[in-house]
Structure 1
């Protein structure tokens, strides 16, 4: 296999990134490759690129975007004011899983967090992603918290 290249995402990567996010049973429920939705993804991509504490990364193999992740640095008061790195939307193309690419990609992100002076890297994964949970455990991530989410939508009005 050709060596993977890890780099910052560029606008031309966006269709491939959205495809990766939509390419499983869970992701396909919330993501779409429908061209009508493209502007919302472009707007989010532009906002991430403008924020110096946020970045999108891809892994490229044989000229193809084969994985993606978002890395966010968040200042915190806890841990003596140490910054945290948050990993989101970590994906590897389904046909390439199990080949060590994801392991190297997450280590790349952890190294970026370390270089930025972060004291902790955290992530969440859907409880239904049992394989992902095992994968993160092999990288040294521990189940330290119980996560909660509240989805907000146009019909969710709090007065």
Structure 2
């Protein structure tokens, strides 16, 4: 399916968790919680820095299950409105936080803007993530569009981990 649009595409993903909004927000903002669920299934996350405030930075490394592959990434927080909203720009980086190209694609966008909103109803929280490239070239946008189905699948696995971790916190 070809993407025919003048508007850059974005991935939108929603999931409802059986947990209060404040707790789900903490999962995104407390290093000890975030490290327990974020990333591809089977990978481990080491948090080097996590300053959840506008202009603050998250820096962390993910290790593959066999330990042979390590990828660094960063978030630069744009908006933090506890416990309802979190906006950040996500990039691959080196261990010093310098933005680099993704290890899997020379055309992957350097920056992805993610907006997380949390709405609570009757003790359950619906999280909506909307993300898409910013400042992307046509080639970068095309790479993102082509990977969108795999990205959705990866997010599904990541948020399965969040659901299991939230259950373990009860």
Higher relative contact order (CA 8 A, sep 6+): 2
- Shorter-chain TM band: 0.3 to 0.5
Using structure 2 for the length normalisation, give the TM-score.
Answer: 0.31
Higher helix share: 1
